[in-house]
Structure 1
Amino acid sequence: MSGTETAPVGVFVATSTPPEDIAGLAAAAERLGYGEVWVAEDYFCYGGFSGAALALGATSRVKVGLGVVASVARHPAVAAMEIATLARAHPGRFLPGIGHGVPAWTDQMGVTAKSPLAALRECVESVRALLRGETVDLEGKQFAFRAVSATHRPDAEVPILTGVLGPKSLRLSGRIAQGTVMSVLAGTEYLSSALGHIGEGMAEARATEHLVPTFALFSVDRDSKRARAAVRPALAGYLAAVGPHNPLTAAFGYNDHLADLLVGDPGRLPEALPEEWIDTLTVAGDPDDVLERVAALRTAGATSVVLSPVNAASAREELELAASAVLPRLV
C-alpha cells in the first residue's frame, strides 16, 4: 500500500460515544491511515446523519459511512434531503445505509413496518429517484409521495447501501442498492453465502459492482491471549442478542451449540464460547492474527473491514497499534 492510498480498513465510532467526541475520533482515524469512518443510528443514541456530518466535517479524505438508519424512522423524502445535503457538502465521501430497523426499537416508536421488504424497497428506490432529480408520486404499502422533488440534488451519484441479513433481503439489496453493510458477526462463511444472494439480485438488475463493508468486533494486543479474552464479553453480548436462530452463525453450523450455551447462566457465556468462535466471528489477537483475519474477510468478499473496538478505554491505543503494525502490510 503506497503512502497516498487509504487502507481498505475502517473504524466504527460506537453509538455509546458522546457526540462531542465523534469529530476527534474521525480525525484520528484519518490521521492514522484508515480509509473509512463509520457511524450508526442505534436508537436512541447519537443521530446517524448528524454523526456523519460531524465525522465528515472533521476529515478531508476518508469515506464516511452511515450503517444504518431504519427505513421507517423518517420519511424517505426527508432521508433523501439529509443524504443530498451531506453529499453536496462532501462530494464523493458519504456512504449512507438504510435497513429494516431493529424491531424492538421500531416497536418503541410505533413505526414497525407490516412488510419490512416493501418498506425497504420503497424507501431505497424513492431516495435514489429523488437524488437523481426525479419527481416522485407514489402511493405505496408504507410511504406516500405527492409530487416530491429534491431542491439540492447531488452532482454525482451517491451509493445507497442497505444493512440486511436474510436471503430475501440480501437479494433485494443486490437488486436495488449499491452495497450491503455486513453485521459485526459476519464471518467468512456467512459472507460467501450472503454474496450469493446479493449476486442473484445484482443479476436481475444487471449490476456489476456492490460495496460490502464488513463490521468486525476488534481487539489487538501484542499479547494475543489478552486481546482474544478482551473480545469475549462483546461477542457473547451480540450472540445473546441475535439468539440461536440467526443466519450469521448458522453459516458456520453453530446454532445448535449456541442454543445450548444460551440455556445456561448468562454470566458464564463469555468464557463458555469455543476458541474457534473467536477466530471465525471476530478480528482479535496480535497484529499477525488481525492481519490474517482482515485478509480472510477481504478474500471472502468484504470490500472493506470496519473495526469496532470492544474496549473504549484502550480503543485509540489499539487502533494506533493496528495502524502501525497491520495497515502497512495490507496489499
Structure 2
Amino acid sequence: MVALQDAVGRYGIWSSELRSEDPAVRAEIPEAAAELEELGFGAVWLGGSSGVQHALPLIEATSTLTVATGILSIWQYEAADAAARFKELDSAHPERFLLGIGASHAQIAAQYRRPYSAMVAYLDALSASGVPAGRVVLAALGPKMLELARDRAAGAHPYLVTPEHTAQARELLGPGPLLAPELKVVLDADADTARATARGYLARYLTLPNYINEFLRLGFTQDDFAGGGSDRLIDAVYAWGDDRSIRRRIDAFHAAGADHVALQIVNGGTPGVPAPLPRAQWRRLAEALA
C-alpha cells in the first residue's frame, strides 16, 4: 500500500472545469487528465460540490493519478449514497480515489445546521458503511474541524488559506495526517491586472462568514474585505507573478507544513459561460515546478 502523501505527491491541480457538464469540455477531460499525470501532478481535485461519479473518467484515463473530490458537500450527497459509490469505484480501481468532504456554508446549503455535529454523524455513517478513514479528508478550516480531520480521517484539505493557517493546521494535525491546502494561481506578472483578476474571483468568497471569520483569526480586518480584497489579502491567498514568484509562494505552503498543495488556475472568465480547460496554464505551472 502506497502512503497517501506519496500517492498524491507534492503538487496537484484543483479544477471545477474537470467536472464540467459542457459536452465540448467533457470530451476533452480524459486526455487532459492523462496529460496532467504526464506533467507530474500527483492528484487532481474536482472543485466545487462534486460527487464521486465525476471521478471515474479521470481515473480510467490515467494509471497512477489520485482523483479527489474537493469537496463533496455533506448536505448535497447522502452518506449512504457517497459510501456506495466510493466502494464501487474503489473496488474497480483500488486506492485511486480520495473522498474529500465538507460542511459547505449556510448561504449555500439550505439544510445547514450544526456543521460539526453533522460532520461527525456523516463520518459515522461512512465508517458504518465500510469506507476507510484513510481514504477520507475534510475541508477543515477551524480548530475543531481540523482536530476531527486528525482523529477521524486521513487529514485535511483546507480551501482559501494562507501559509500562516497551514502552519497552525499542521500544529493541530501533528506530523502524520495529510495536509493538502488549496492555493489559487494567477499567471500574470503585472501587479495591477493580476490582482484585478484575483479580486474578481475572490469577491464571491468574501460574502461567506466561514472564510471571513478565519481571516479575522489570522489577523486581517474588515478593511481587508472591501472591494474584492485588499492587496494584503490578495497576496496572502494567491500566488501570482512570474514563474519564480509563483514557485516561491507555493514553496511557502510546503515550508509551513503542507504535504501537498492543490493549485487552482484563476483566469478572468465570464460568469455563466462554460470555462475551457486551462491546459496551457497547467503546462506552464508544471514547468515552474519542475
The TM-score, its normalising length taken from structure 1, stands at 0.73
Kindly name which structure, 1 or 2, has the bigger radius of gyration based on alpha carbons.
1
Going from structure 1 to structure 2, the CA distance change for 1:256 and 1:30 (only over 3 Å counts) comes to same
* Distance in 2 of aligned mates of 1:224 and 1:60: 39
Match of 1:264 in 2: none
Shift of 1:256: 2.8
1:99 aligns with 2:55: no
Q: Tell me how far 1:244 sits from its aligned partner.
A: 7.6
Percent identical pairs in the alignment equals: 28
Report the Cα distance in structure 1 between the residues aligned to 2:184 and 2:254, rounded to whole angstroms: 15
**1:7/1:159 Cα in 2 relative to 1: closer, same or farther (>3 Å)?**
closer
Matches within 5 A, 1:75-224: 75-107=78-110, 111-113=111-113, 115-131=114-130, 158-183=134-159, 185-199=160-174, 209-221=176-188
Give yes or no for the alignment of 1:10 onto 2:12.
yes
Mind listing any 5+ residue stretches in structure 1 that lack a counterpart?
133-155, 200-207, 262-268
Query: Residue 55 and residue 224 in structure 1: after superposition, are their counterparts in 2 closer, same or farther (change >3 A)?
Result: farther
Preserved contact between residue 159 and residue 179 of structure 1 (Cα < 8 Å)? no
- Spell out, residue by residue over 1:248-288, the C-alpha distance to the aligned partner (whole angstroms, 9 max, x if none): x22441133235x2xxxxxxx24xx4333332111211110
> CA contact under 8 A between 1:8 and 1:35: conserved in structure 2?
yes
The residue aligned with 1:203 is none
Q: Give the deviation of 1:16 after TM superposition.
A: 8.4
Match of 1:286 in 2: 242
SS at match of 2:94: coil
Q: Which has the higher contact order (CA 8 A, sep 6+)?
A: 2
DSSP 3-state at the match of 2:58: helix
User: Which amino acid letter does the alignment assign opposite residue 245 of structure 2?
Assistant: D
Distance 1:60 1:310 in 2: 27
Q: Which amino acid aligns with 1:25?
A: A
Q: SS state of the match for residue 196, structure 1?
A: helix
The residue aligned with 2:285 is 322
Asked if structure 2 preserves the Cα contact closer than 8 Å seen for 1:98 and 1:163, the reply is yes
**What is the aligned partner in structure 1 of residue 76 from structure 2?**
73
TM-score, normalized by length of structure 2? 0.82
Gaps of 5+ in 2: 1-6, 268-274
Q: d(CA) in 2 for partners of 1:6 and 1:190?
A: 21
- Inter-CA distance 313–226: structure 2 relative to 1 (3 Å threshold): farther
Partners of 1:112 and 1:314 in 2: how far apart?
Answer: 32
Name the SS of the counterpart of 1:131 in structure 2: coil
- CA, structure 1 residues 224+92, in 2 after alignment: closer, same or farther (shift >3 Å)? farther
How far does the alpha carbon of each residue in 1:118-150 deviate from its partner, in whole angstroms, 9 at most, with x for none? 221121133134326xxxxxxxxxxxxxxxxxx
Q: 1:241 to 1:126 in 2, by over 3 A?
A: closer
Query: Match for 2:219 among 229, 253, 271?
Result: 253
Provide the aligned length of Structure 1 versus Structure 2.
Answer: 272
CA RMSD of aligned residues (A): 2.7
What one-letter code is carried by the residue in structure 2 that aligns with 1:161?
V
**Contact 1:245 / 1:255 at 8 angstroms: preserved in 2?**
no
